[in-house]
Structure 1
Amino acid sequence: MFLSSWFVLALGTLVGALPKRECVHTVKESVNPPRGWAKVQPAPADHVIELRIGLPQPNFATLEKHLYEVSDPYHERYGAHLSKEEVDALVAPHPDSIDLVTEWLMSHGISEDSMGLSPAQDWVVIKVPVGLAEKMLNTEYHVWSHEASNSSLVRTTTYSLPDYLHEHIDLIQPTTLFSTWRGMKSTIHSSQPAKPDTMSSAPPIKVPSASGGEVDASCNTTITVSCLKQLYNAVGFTPAGGKNGNQIAVTGYLEQFANIADLELFYADQVPAAVNTSFEVISVNGGENNQTLSEAGDEANLDTQFAFGITFPTPATFFTTAGSPPFIPDIGTPTDTNEPYLQWLEFILDQRDPPQTISTSYGDDEQTVPPSFATRVCNLFAQLGARGVSLTFSSGDGGVGDGDPDPATQECFTNDGRNATRFIAGFPASCPFVTAVGGTTFVPEVAISFSGGGFSDLFPRPSYQEKAVTAFLDELAPGTYEGLFNPNGRAFPDVSAQSNNFRIFLEGEPVLIGGTSASSPTFAGFVSLLNDARLSKGLPPLGFLNPLIYAIGAEEPSAFNDITVGNNPGCGTPGFNSSVGWDAVTGFGTPNFGKLKEVVSVKNPLGLVQS
């Protein structure tokens, strides 16, 4: 595995010095510290940081071409996903980049056997003391704190490289990344005590697209696995239980532990057939899954209970990645590993057979992520998509805002020093290579007010959503929110699902929880069921979903339950409105599994493949 090849650089070890090139350092990257971060003190010179050096991927455009061809139902290559080896070859750097970066590191006393290389050799990983990193990068590191999230980081706002290395290094982190990577559960709608069922005798709610055309009345106040299967037309479908190779997974971060005893109570309550079963736990970078009941995580329990409850008996995995705030750097503190998300991506890309469907309910404000880092992470998602993995992400719980607006003005501000009011996109939801999932509530469904949606300021609008998003923008009144969003950016969410009053078990008790943290594992659950139907027929998994979603939205709109009521306020505005077709609140809407299964259970979905 990638991680096992890394070696800690022994402090003080001297390596035969190489002759240093005569060169001038120029700035590689410079950022404004995001709002809310304060510089505390210089970082201790002996504090060890793990530097990840991203080398350019000269053939990424070719990989992207393959990704769109194998993901586009109009293309004859639809479903012909690439192998791990093929993807690794397409993202490999030029040998000159490896040689020159290795030479540079060795000139600073870093031995070649202490440099970790990713399988594709596009990342070099070293562990060095802050003092040496400052010398290499011609910078100064400081300890920064973020009071709202109780986080501390060792970061700099600018770093430099020798001129000759600029074209051979895309980025180095941790340097300028000030992340408050957080769970996407609404602070308003989470962890409420479960209420007694007062709706059991009420007549069912008529929903034409639902299984049997009806949904239990109780689903208007409490969401269960049964509610979701009724509402999304999946009653009666039984997965193959892994016999066809299908798998589903959710990711866990920030010491969010998925409790097995709580899962057992959840299964007894909602999925009796699953009692006495569980999921596989895979640790990344030393991640734990503490089973002390008081350590159970609401985020982790929500994700695992519903994603795995919907898809039982499909084999399920919980990835737990180490790293959690608060992080207080000092001489006695272990290495700074406060970028767990990148560590998970590197791990999963090194697996030969990753799960076909993976849900993540974590994210950050796009503007706090340096463009070089966001682009590189987004490209890692493309690698997974090209290999046939479907990735769903919560769209966020701040409406068109960032979920953390100024408490006095309820406005959102740019991070470029201007402090201008601006809608705040969420990342990774804004990446065009993932499927962003917004939120709904009630039966019949309406958009929930906190559903994250809008337009990226970093990623341009991909071609697959050009028609749908242009139609939405054309319906806006002239001048609507002019200057507050980028109308040419990647628009999100792509789809949505229920996101409120989910009945889970936490520390042995039933509670109701909400947020787009619920939407992502829910939608992923139904994607996994669709994969199950395809794999059972000898068809490849769906992989990168978005080109197919937008094709279905145009050709077979009844495969989604269009949400036309509601809006997503934020930043002192009402936000966008839900509307017919795609909108920046709920995307194309929620899944009609029965209809989607009809569409994707053939080799050529929609019959759209061109000869």
Structure 2
Amino acid sequence: MAYLVLHFCITITLCLTVGGSLLRPKNSTGIVKESVLPPPGWVRSRDAPLDHILELRIGLPQLNFHILEQHLYEISDPEHERYGMHLSKEEVEELVAPSEESINVVDKWLASHGLTQHDVSRSPAKDWVIVKVPVGVAGEMLGTSFGLWTHKASGQTAVRTLKYSLPVDVHGHVELVQPTTMFSRTTGQKTTFRWSNQQAHEDVDTESSQITLPNGIMVDASCNQTVTINCLKQLYNAVGFAPKSKQNKIGITGYLGQFANIADLQLFYADQRPDALNSSFQFISVNGGQNSQNISQAGGEANLDTQFAFGLTFPTPATFYSTAGMPPFTPDIGTTTDSNEPYTTWLDFILSHPNPPQTISTSYADDEQTVPETFARRACSGFAQLGARGVSLMFSSGDGGVGDGDPDPATQQCFSNDGRNATRFIPGFPASCPFVTAVGGTIFIPERAVSFSGGGFSNFFARPQYQDQAVQTFLRSLPKGTYAGLFNPSAFPDVSALADNFKIFFRGRSGLIGGTSAASPAFAGFVSLLNDARLSRGLPPLGFLNPFLYSRGLTGLTDITVGSNPGCGTPGFNATKGWDPVTGLGTPNFGKLKELVLL
């Protein structure tokens, strides 16, 4: 990039020079592209340093995404003649590529601000343009000024603005530019780690040696206090199944400096999966992500995800992705880049990969309302692209019930951030995206909804057709007026699994951990085993799961009808017969699902 030098003009105004030529504001006739109200909990302390580097991601319109979506639903519908006929990487990229006109218009706009092709990087489909520029240049490009904002509760800082504009001729060729108005704080789910067993519920059987369920499945009664791999295999009817396919792979994503410790993994294997001892996973760094093996830096979330997902599926090849993003930074240091939340960084990487794992689980989330809707939709479209290529994506549904992610109902902030400060249930993203499978949580045997299981209704996404019957049935069962105005009718989670009392090894010691961050990798483990069964028979992987789950797969799920997910000062929703916004369609019966996926 041409070297930018700040200097004062003769008129005593602050200007920019590029290679010696004077630049004046080029956005004075711009149209506002996006604006937000001051986000709750964030405070603007001062102007951002003009030399602080922003990594701007410019989203160009995906003109044929509607065609990709049609393909996705056809190849994911078990009753459609195209079921399982996933698209190639190249076919997907062709469908989401922007027009040449949009590419040219945006390139011309960037060039007017001194940026050459050497300064620009692009996504494989060219639908994202990424440039790194100083705050001063970004402000000029977008007709705005950036401030340094601090989140009062966490102390996290970000360089952001409340609105930005684009030139008239550029406006229609750009869908969004971020990070600008994004005040989301990607966090791991609220896993709770403890060194002693949780007190069992008073009506839970801990005296018998085994529990016989109504479907005839027998489970060790000890699983009511400590959940192991064997507990999950017993409960979900997978005892005796051994993976065989050499093509099958499973992946776990890690963010925010969560490191998966291999020494802890070996302790876990020795305790629960001795045949896996001395095996490990492939580590892949995304955008400089690390996986320190210093035992003091082991992450509870990363250990939980890798130990159970990889323990359930051994010897299936396993990958742990560590993605850097949103680190703490001192904005006065110009060499530190302020970037987006890390989902899109990981999406850029995985979409460029020709052979991603067929099953991937993620246990991180944002409050949906803190993510600009344009950004949420673009990230969601990236998940759809992976589904079209045959990848099954699981996301934990959240650990705040119907609240904002805070597991303590007393401290939940359940207010809209649209200026009205109205009481509102707070859905989580990406669980609310209709192109992923959101996994809620249960507890104990027989299973009941765990109280923190995130679930509810999206404010961004329309209800997908595959959900219509199930969700409408639930809504008709609600007493008239229940929670009127607190939610919209696009729903999650889709399924659920046990989510508490998981025994893991963390920094050399064993203990129990819980959260829907346990349910997601557990459910993903059984999906990977289903993919193994299909691949071993010469069938394609399952890919996007939801159309199957809401139709043919329904008989392979165990309905959960007890429990609720309180939050926002309410009892939340109840688990009930059929789908509900606490446990979704229910928990997996692997034996039945295996028969169904092999039909």
Q: TM-score range by the shorter chain?
A: over 0.9
Give the 4+ runs in structure 1 shifted more than 6 A. Answer: 15-23, 196-201, 405-409
The AA in structure 1 aligned to 2:502 is: F
SS of residue paired to 1:438: strand
Compared CA separation, residues 11 and 520, structure 1 to 2 (3 A): farther
In structure 1, the residue matched to 2:209 is: 203
C-alpha displacement at 1:33, in angstroms?
2.9
Moved more, 504-513 or 333-342: 333-342
In structure 1, the residue matched to 2:583 is: 586
C-alpha displacement at 1:17, in angstroms?
9.3
Compared CA separation, residues 405 and 215, structure 1 to 2 (3 A): closer
1:367, 1:103 → 2: CA distance? 33
SS of residue paired to 2:461: strand
C-alpha displacement at 1:537, in angstroms?
0.3
8 Å contact 1:149–1:180 — kept in the other structure?
no
The AA in structure 2 aligned to 1:168 is: H
1:57, 1:118 → 2: CA distance? 12
8 Å contact 1:209–1:561 — kept in the other structure?
no
Among candidates 229, 235, 238, match of residue 231 of structure 1? 235
C-alpha displacement at 1:11, in angstroms?
4.1
1:191, 1:529 → 2: CA distance? 28
Among candidates 121, 124, 134, match of residue 129 of structure 1? 134
C-alpha displacement at 1:32, in angstroms?
1.6
8 Å contact 1:406–1:412 — kept in the other structure?
no
| Identity within the alignment, % | 65
Moved more, 9-18 or 172-181: 9-18
SS of residue paired to 1:229: helix
2:539, 2:155 → 1: CA distance? 47
**Residues 319-342 of structure 1: CA distance to partner in whole angstroms, max 9, x if unpaired?**
001124433311345111342221
1:130, 1:22 → 2: CA distance? 15
8 Å contact 2:27–2:141 — kept in the other structure?
no
The AA in structure 2 aligned to 1:429 is: A
RMSD over aligned Cα atoms: 2.1
2:304 aligned with 1:299: no
In structure 1, the residue matched to 2:521 is: 521
**Residues 549-595 of structure 1: CA distance to partner in whole angstroms, max 9, x if unpaired?**
00035xx53x1111000000000000000111111100011000000
8 Å contact 1:209–1:232 — kept in the other structure?
no
SS of residue paired to 1:421: coil
C-alpha displacement at 1:184, in angstroms?
1.3
SS of residue paired to 1:168: coil
Among candidates 432, 449, 458, match of residue 447 of structure 1? 449
C-alpha displacement at 1:143, in angstroms?
1.0
In structure 2, the residue matched to 1:4 is: none
**Residues 493-524 of structure 1: CA distance to partner in whole angstroms, max 9, x if unpaired?**
00000000100000000010000000100000
In structure 1, the residue matched to 2:505 is: 505
2:458, 2:500 → 1: CA distance? 26
1:313, 1:531 → 2: CA distance? 14
In structure 2, the residue matched to 1:331 is: 333
2:535 aligned with 1:535: yes
Among candidates 451, 457, 460, match of residue 459 of structure 2? 457
8 Å contact 2:3–2:19 — kept in the other structure?
no
In structure 1, the residue matched to 2:545 is: 545
The AA in structure 1 aligned to 2:320 is: F
**Residues 427-467 of structure 1: CA distance to partner in whole angstroms, max 9, x if unpaired?**
00000000000000000000000000110011010000000
In structure 1, the residue matched to 2:102 is: 97
C-alpha displacement at 1:153, in angstroms?
0.7
2:90, 2:35 → 1: CA distance? 35
Compared CA separation, residues 40 and 108, structure 1 to 2 (3 A): same
1:97, 1:571 → 2: CA distance? 44
The AA in structure 2 aligned to 1:563 is: I
C-alpha displacement at 1:111, in angstroms?
1.4
8 Å contact 2:405–2:428 — kept in the other structure?
no
8 Å contact 1:411–1:572 — kept in the other structure?
no
SS of residue paired to 2:172: helix
C-alpha displacement at 1:421, in angstroms?
0.2
1:576, 1:373 → 2: CA distance? 28
Compared CA separation, residues 196 and 143, structure 1 to 2 (3 A): closer
2:81 aligned with 1:76: yes
**Residues 522-549 of structure 1: CA distance to partner in whole angstroms, max 9, x if unpaired?**
0000000000000000000000000000
C-alpha displacement at 1:179, in angstroms?
1.2
8 Å contact 2:25–2:140 — kept in the other structure?
no
2:276, 2:29 → 1: CA distance? 63
C-alpha displacement at 1:74, in angstroms?
1.8
1:197, 1:171 → 2: CA distance? 49
Among candidates 43, 48, 69, match of residue 43 of structure 1? 48
8 Å contact 1:209–1:231 — kept in the other structure?
no
The AA in structure 1 aligned to 2:90 is: E
2:586, 2:196 → 1: CA distance? 27
2:369, 2:316 → 1: CA distance? 37
In structure 1, the residue matched to 2:14 is: none
Compared CA separation, residues 19 and 369, structure 1 to 2 (3 A): closer
In structure 2, the residue matched to 1:26 is: 31
In structure 1, the residue matched to 2:219 is: 215
SS of residue paired to 2:547: helix
1:480, 1:600 → 2: CA distance? 38
Compared CA separation, residues 339 and 226, structure 1 to 2 (3 A): same
SS of residue paired to 1:191: strand
1:363, 1:552 → 2: CA distance? 29
In structure 2, the residue matched to 1:317 is: 319
In structure 2, the residue matched to 1:607 is: none
**Residues 244-280 of structure 1: CA distance to partner in whole angstroms, max 9, x if unpaired?**
x100000000000000000000000000000000000
1:540, 1:194 → 2: CA distance? 43
SS of residue paired to 2:289: coil
C-alpha displacement at 1:202, in angstroms?
3.9
8 Å contact 2:189–2:363 — kept in the other structure?
yes
2:155 aligned with 1:158: no
Unaligned runs of 5+ in 2: 6-17
TM-score under structure 2 length normalisation = 0.94
8 Å contact 1:31–1:157 — kept in the other structure?
yes
Aligned residues: 583
In structure 1, the residue matched to 2:9 is: none
1:393, 1:138 → 2: CA distance? 37
1:404, 1:207 → 2: CA distance? 33
Compared CA separation, residues 310 and 408, structure 1 to 2 (3 A): closer
Compared CA separation, residues 406 and 325, structure 1 to 2 (3 A): farther
C-alpha displacement at 1:422, in angstroms?
0.4
TM-score under structure 1 length normalisation = 0.92
C-alpha displacement at 1:21, in angstroms?
8.2
Among candidates 576, 579, 593, match of residue 596 of structure 1? 593
C-alpha displacement at 1:38, in angstroms?
1.1
C-alpha displacement at 1:405, in angstroms?
8.7
SS of residue paired to 1:459: coil
8 Å contact 1:381–1:434 — kept in the other structure?
yes
Compared CA separation, residues 288 and 10, structure 1 to 2 (3 A): farther
Compared CA separation, residues 417 and 224, structure 1 to 2 (3 A): same
Moved more, 338-347 or 297-306: 338-347
The AA in structure 2 aligned to 1:344 is: W
